[in-house]
């Protein structure tokens, strides 16, 4: 991930490498020059991608710590997706599978899931465990200081 995240152009299908620091910006496809909108969906990340996004983000980063076996996490997923869409360009949403990446969960002292962390400038601005409706989750991101 050090050189970016690969995103497909909706217009021509070309694969474009977008640096982590530009995920919240609108860009242009390298092939057809069509607009590449800011990331508007949750990104399932590994530790290297997590580090690159958090280090490079110029907007808040909402991290959803979850696991496939967790019923409340599955209930939260559509709301997390909605928040990612609603806050495209204003925030980046990451998903961290606590089963696959327990070191990241431990780093943020995640003891119950779903667990939501808002990072600003690489630092924890707010953290909360438990389900939140999409509107509340959006406010959680927007008001984290």
Q: Are 64 and 119 in contact (CB under 8 A)?
A: no
Assigned token pair, 10: 């909706």
The predicted model scores a pTM of 0.93
- For residue 4, the model assigns a pLDDT of 74
* Domains observed in the chain: 5-36 (no CATH), 43-143 (3.40.30.10)
Choice between 1 and 104, residue whose per-residue pLDDT is larger: 104
**Distance (Å, whole) CA 145 – CA 18:** 27
Q: Is 9 a catalytic residue?
A: no
Q: Please write the tens of the pLDDT for every residue from 89-138.
A: 999 999 999 999 999 999 999 999 999 999 999 999 999 999 999 999 99
Three-state SS across the chain? CCCCEEEECCCCCCEEEECHHHCCCCEECCCCCCEECCCCCCEECCHHHHHHHHHHCCCCEEEEEECCCCHHHHHHHHHHHHHHHHCECCEEEEEEECCCCHHHHHHCCCCCCCEEEEEECCEEEEEEECCCCHHHHHHHHHHCC
Q: Please write the tens of the pLDDT for every residue from 4-54.
A: 789 999 999 999 999 988 999 999 999 999 999 999 999 999 999 999 999
- For residue 1, the model assigns a pLDDT of 43
Q: Is 73 a catalytic residue?
A: yes
């Amino acid at each position: 991930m050090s050189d970016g995240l690969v995103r497909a152009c909706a217009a021509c299908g070309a694969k474009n490498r977008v640096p982590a620091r530009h995920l919240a910006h609108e860009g242009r496809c390298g092939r057809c020059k069509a607009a590449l909108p800011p990331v508007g969906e949750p990104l399932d990340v590994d530790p290297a991608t997590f580090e690159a996004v958090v280090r490079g983000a110029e907007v808040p980063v909402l991290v959803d710590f979850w696991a496939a076996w967790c019923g409340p996490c599955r209930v939260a997923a559509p709301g997390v997706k909605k928040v990612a869409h609603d806050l495209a360009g204003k925030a980046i949403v990451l998903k961290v599978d606590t089963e696959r990446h327990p070191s990241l969960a431990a780093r943020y002292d995640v003891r119950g899931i779903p667990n939501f962390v808002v990072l600003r400038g690489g630092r924890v601005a707010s953290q909360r465990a438990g389900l939140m409706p999409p509107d509340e989750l959006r406010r959680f991101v927007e008001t984290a200081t």
